[in-house]
Structure 1
């Protein structure tokens, strides 16, 4: 198990070991733990003295953003960007928090990028209580997600500008990638908006009005990104359908060209087959100009059939 801790007391910020932070008196304490094993569960039970429900919420393997109030404390789960490799269906790492007026305990299984912003803020003296910390984390998470969502929209714009049946395979692959990412982000942003809105409305004294405003702003931003992701998903589906239609149109045009060529050569095949029979009695078989006469006749038929197709507008 690894982690870090900070204590903010009397305007000063002090870096502590998580074991020391549990016993720290006065001020505000933030304890963060990073682990994938059961050691965190034992530490939360034996050292932090948390109840079974809270421990399960902080260490569950499969999580979705949510917010619950337990005995005056908020148990919060959020999702944010991570530089670790993630599956396309689960692209965001989770951070689980238990916060009250004097202490915040957070747990992650993967490195969360927003933690760096929160640590910089607390070391700079910008965080003095639990409300400030949660508002900073929520703001950093949404701020880091915003350009990622915008980049997905820009990628679709590029695909729309390059719509060409000759590039259908590459474009379809890019569009499917964008669509998978949008679905993965949207899966967590909608419940994250609900969790942040619920947190902003909790009847707890340690959340100030300013903290509630910042958390509400993060919820609104999450809602806007979720709506943008829904739009991206729908646009990706329309682009995919357009590429399919363009591909089908190319196939139809080529099939039409093959049909026209076959129709042109159908009577010529009959003529050459008829005069190419190896039997006696074929007219003009021994005539000196018969070959050129039949060739000219065949060319005339080919031109006539081609003109007929043109007049019927088969090539439009």
Structure 2
């Protein structure tokens, strides 16, 4: 089975053990963390045969689609959280899920895709910095916020720069940037808001393995998620407003160009009629053999065009 398990003994030593040997509850003062790959069939079988978990918990740990939640059971708690994927892993949702079952002395985590920074959490466990499920879950919540917060801030900075550098000549490029920022904000907010609620619910959950310091860290992470949710909502609304402004700008540009084409067509319409009338190949056209006739026709055309142009100017057709 593709997974690993770490066990913290009562004397503070951490050792790696086979996940198959972690199916029993550790003695008082010890802590075991088992992490499993949800894509493997052995994971579901191990959870059912060796995890000693309720069927609803096994189903929640191996579900393909999840949302952030925290729910108390008789002897433990089910916690689903979402965090960023490592760079280069672009399959599926932008925030990957990690599912945890926590009870006194033991945590079982299941993930289908890698979680950014997860190796730091394992290193903290190997360095004996995590002593119970409360330490592990609160450290995971803080880790997720630390990784996600800069990305949310970058989205806000991107919208700020587009607002400050609003340029009609770069409308196409900036519309693509705004559309990308809005799409990412919507995708992040889908999980950030319920994740805040999940952490707030976990912070007030009545369980013996959550100390006051752990609850404080969970509330701090929930507050950061609340702030990120507000920032993402602002990014979404500001992006929509910028998109509307670019759309209005494009409509104004099309209207201006259409107006210019209409004016040019109206100026040349009587000239085309005049030249077409005089260009008919029939007898009786006046002054057809006079040497000054061509100059007279050209002068007449210029005068007509000037008169029409003066009319458009006085009618304020060129006013924005």
* TM-score bin, normalised by smaller chain: over 0.9
| Residue in 2 that maps onto 1:85 | 90
- Alpha-carbon shift at residue 115 of structure 1 (Å): 1.6
Aligned partners of 2:13 and 2:128 also within 8 Å: yes
**1:305 counterpart SS class:** helix
- Alpha-carbon shift at residue 313 of structure 1 (Å): 2.3
Question: Which of 36, 54, 57 is matched with 2:57 structurally?
Answer: 54
Answer with 248-257 or 106-115: which moved more.
106-115
Alignment of 1:32-47 (within 5 A): 32-47=35-50
Could you tell me how far apart the structure 2 residues matched to 1:37 and 1:126 are? 29
TM-score where L is the length of structure 2: 0.94
Q: Is 1:20 matched up with 2:21?
A: yes
Aligned partners of 1:175 and 1:239 also within 8 Å: yes
Q: Is 1:113 matched up with 2:116?
A: yes
Answer with 75-84 or 114-123: which moved more.
114-123
1:9-54 CA distance string (max 9 Å, x none):
2222222221233345451111111131331111011122212111
| Residue in 1 that maps onto 2:76 | 73
Q: Is 1:294 matched up with 2:297?
A: yes
| Residue in 2 that maps onto 1:7 | 7
Could you tell me how far apart the structure 1 residues matched to 2:78 and 2:108 are? 10
RMSD: 1.5
Question: Which of 279, 283, 295 is matched with 1:280 structurally?
Answer: 283
Could you tell me how far apart the structure 2 residues matched to 1:64 and 1:48 are? 22
What are the ranges of 5 or more consecutive residues in structure 2 without an aligned counterpart? none
Answer with 174-183 or 90-99: which moved more.
174-183
Answer with 22-31 or 268-277: which moved more.
22-31
| Residue in 2 that maps onto 1:188 | 191
| Residue in 1 that maps onto 2:161 | 158
Question: Which of 206, 211, 221 is matched with 2:224 structurally?
Answer: 221
Paired residue total: 314
- Alpha-carbon shift at residue 86 of structure 1 (Å): 2.7
1:75-121 CA distance string (max 9 Å, x none):
0000001122233xx21110000001210110001111132221122
Q: Is 1:95 matched up with 2:66?
A: no
